[in-house]
Amino acid sequence: MSTSDDMDGGEGRRNALVAEYVLGLLSPAEHDRVHRLIENDQALRAERDFWVSRFAALNEGYEEVPAPDRLWPGIEARAFGDTRAPVKPGFWESLLLWRSIAAGALAVAVAAIGFNLLQPRPDVSSLTTQLVAALEQEGSNVKFVALYDGTGQVRLTALSGDAVPEKDFELWAIQGGNNPISMGVIPANQRSTVSIAPEVMAGWGEGSVLAITLEPKGGSPSGVPTGPIVAKGAVQQI
Amino acid sequence: MAMQAPSREVADLIARCALRDRAAFRALYDRTSAKLFGVVLRILKDRSEAEEAIQEVYVKIWQRADRYVAGDTSPISWLVAVARNHALDILRARRPMADDIDVALEIPDAGPSPERAAADSQERGRIERCLSTLEPDRAEAVRGAYLDGYSYDELAQRYAVPLNTMRTWLRRSLLKLRECLTA
């Protein structure tokens, strides 16, 4: 009782199977199996994305139904409860220790900004915006200060945060609703300078967000952030 | 891609969720929960189950906000997909073991892949046009599978045809649909 006879050969059967997967028509076992196949096959992923985006045009068929207000506290508790859980035991400092470091770090950040302002500026910078971002994240001890003085480069100063074995810190620029753009892997525990690529420069300015994620050695393999955010901060004018 | 302003705002809120901005998460919820609640309610057809599901959906959105890639799909389509898939997972877990008797045993090598999915806005109307090339009841079956999450069993009962007939119908309809959508 095989229906494979019904299909127009292999490719047709394959495409119909992915469509059935997207529609949710497969049995649990088959759904899981096709899910794994899709995850490991570029062409099948493209086929899945094809169906997802085409069927999405039917979403207008879903009527809006207000969700009861009382649901929000449950969502908040579950969502934010998770973020407070340590990502890697041993890597994160305790919140208490982090808080005690934070006060000192802030002082260093302020000092760093002040120091920067005292530096003789190159001519170009006197005409451009001075920008600063303090990068931090609750639950993480990673802290950086980023300074931009109009030279096309961001200077990063690591205030705290240890290197993680087999992992790298990767810096991202997030501008408006755009995808994070990688600005490359940055070293832990030291100063570094990152050049601003043209696509970042296009939207660069106050309101841009810099974020640091923990990625596999050498940076995210996919070009999009894959690991947890260990520090972030909005770029501000000074 | 020219995103409409509301769409861009939702994309922005998702991006801010990825940066663990809790106020943005709340704003995203206020903005989109009626749509997503409509999705889980229509599929689960049970209010208390839908209320539980919508909470899990938003927890997933918070946890996976960094996986949203702007440009591939509209932000609201991405959110609907998270809600819809979650509701379908619940249905799958609830259903009796389906027989796997005639599922394809292996997926043959990939042929030419479809072009990168265009923005939803460009697709609007196109799927409707293509569905209208199918026989009306088959188009309705496809729509029911998508919007209501009907299983083959449920579809077979609704259209009073044997299960395997429904499978054959649906698969042929999907291939025809694909042909039209890629034409």
Chain A contact probe: residue of B1, B19, B45 with most A CBs at under 10 A: B19
Residue B19 in this model has a pLDDT that exceeds 50:
yes
Cα separation of B32 and B99, whole Å?
Answer: 37
Binning pLDDT at 50, 70 and 90, where does residue A113 land? low
Q: Which residue reads 């259209």 in tokens?
A: B159
Question: What does the alpha-carbon distance between residue A95 and residue A102 come to, in Å, rounded to a whole number?
Answer: 10
Probe site for chain B from A13, A42, A44, A50 (most B CB atoms < 10 A): A50
Percent of chain A exceeding pLDDT 70 equals 75
* Better-predicted residue by pLDDT, A172 or B7: A172
- Residue the block writes with tokens 């440009």: B71
CA atoms of A3 and A161, how far apart (whole Å): 58
Residues A36-64 pLDDT 10s:
999 999 999 999 989 998 999 999 999 99
User: Are A53 and B104 within 8 A, CB to CB?
Assistant: no
Chain centre distance of CA A93: 21
For residue B134, the model assigns a pLDDT of 95
Q: Give per-residue pLDDT as tens, A183-233.
A: 999 988 788 888 888 888 888 888 888 988 888 888 888 888 877 788 888
Q: Give ranges for CATH 1.10.1740.10 in chain B.
A: 5-94
Of the ranges A99-103, A170-174, B159-163, which one carries the lowest mean pLDDT score?
A: A99-103
Q: Are A47 and B113 a contacting pair at CB < 8 A?
A: yes
Average pLDDT, chain A: 76
| B114, B147, B181 member nearest A61 (Cβ) | B147
Strand arrangement, sheet containing A192-195: A192-195, A153-160, A143-148, A131-135, A236-237
What is the Cα–Cα distance from A179 to B69, expressed in whole angstroms? 6
B93 in Cβ contact with B56 (< 8 Å): no
Cβ atoms of B108 and A14 closer than 8 Å:
yes
Asked whether the beta carbons of residue B103 and residue A4 sit closer than 8 angstroms, the reply is: no
Taking CA–CA distances from B28, the nearest residue in chain A reads A72
A178 contacts A203 by C-beta, under 8 angstroms: yes
pLDDT digit string, tens, across residues B121-149: 556 678 999 999 999 999 999 999 999 99
CATH T-level assignment (fold) for domain B5-94: Rna Polymerase Sigma Factor; Chain: A (1.10.1740)
H or E element, residue B62: helix B47-64
Position B154 scores a pLDDT of 93
Query: Where is pLDDT greater, at B1 or A175?
Result: A175
- The stretch B113-117 carries a mean pLDDT of 44
Q: Where does the pLDDT of residue A118 fall: very low under 50, low under 70, confident under 90, or very high at 90 and above?
A: low
Mean pLDDT of A69-87: 74
Rounded CA separation B130/B179 (Å): 9
Q: Is the pLDDT of residue A98 over 70?
A: no
In eight-state DSSP terms, residue A66 is P
Instruction: For residues A142 and A72, give the distance between their C-alpha atoms in angstroms, rounded to a whole number.
Output: 31
Kindly report the nearest CA distance between residue B123 and chain A, in angstroms.
6
pLDDT of the residue at A144: 86
**Chain A residues within 8 A of B33 when measuring between CB atoms:** 66-67
Q: What local confidence, expressed as pLDDT, does residue B116 receive?
A: 43
User: What number is the average pLDDT over the span B54-71?
Assistant: 89
Lowest mean pLDDT among A160-164, B37-41, B169-173: A160-164
B28 contacts on A by Cβ (under 8 Å): none
Per-residue pLDDT, B180: 94
Q: Which of A6-15, A124-133, A173-182, B105-114 has the highest mean pLDDT?
A: A173-182
Q: What architecture is the B120-182 domain classified under in CATH?
A: Orthogonal Bundle (1.10)
Q: Is the pLDDT of residue A142 over 90?
A: no
Task: Report the pLDDT value the prediction gives residue A56, as an integer from 0 to 100.
Answer: 93
Mutate to test the interface with A, among B14, B103, B158, B165 (most CBs of A within 10 A): B103
**Domains observed in chain A:** 7-61 (no CATH), 91-237 (2.60.40)
Distances (CA, A) of B110 to A49, A125, A216: 15, 54, 29
Q: Strand pairing of A167-174 and A153-160?
A: unpaired
The answer to whether B35 contacts A62, with C-beta atoms less than 8 Å apart, is yes
Supply angle C-alpha A136, A140, A146, rounded to 5.
Answer: 25
Q: How confident is the model at residue A237 (pLDDT cuts 50, 70, 90)?
A: confident
> Is the predicted pLDDT of residue B100 greater than 90, yes or no?
no
Q: Which residue do the tokens 């999009």 mark?
A: A224
CB of B28 closer than 8 Å to CB of B17: yes
pLDDT at A157 over 90: no
Q: How far is B122 from A54, CA to CA, in rounded Å? A: 10
How many other C-beta atoms lie within 10 A of the C-beta of residue B28? 24
- Comparing CB atoms, the residue among B108, B126, B174 nearest residue A19 is B174
| Residue B162 CB partners (closer than 8 Å, separation 6+) | B156
pLDDT of residue B31: 96
Count of helices and strands (H, E) across chain A:
7, 9
Range A93-121 average pLDDT: 48
Arithmetic mean of pLDDT over chain B: 84
**Comma-separated ranges of CATH 1.10.10.10 domains in chain B:** 120-182
What pTM value is reported for the model? 0.59
Residues 6+ apart with CB under 8 A from B108: A10, A11, A13, A14
ipTM value > 0.95: no
Q: Are A204 and A196 in contact (CB under 8 A)?
A: yes
Tell me the nearest-neighbour CA distance from B158 into chain A, angstroms.
Answer: 15
Question: Cβ B59–A75 below 8 Å, yes or no?
Answer: yes
- Give B20's contacts in chain A (Cβ within 8 Å): 83, 137-138, 229, 232
Closest CA to A20 of B178, B80, B41: B178
Separation of alpha carbons A62 and A60, rounded Å:
5
Collect all residues with Cβ–Cβ distance below 8 Å to B157 and sequence separation of at least 6. none
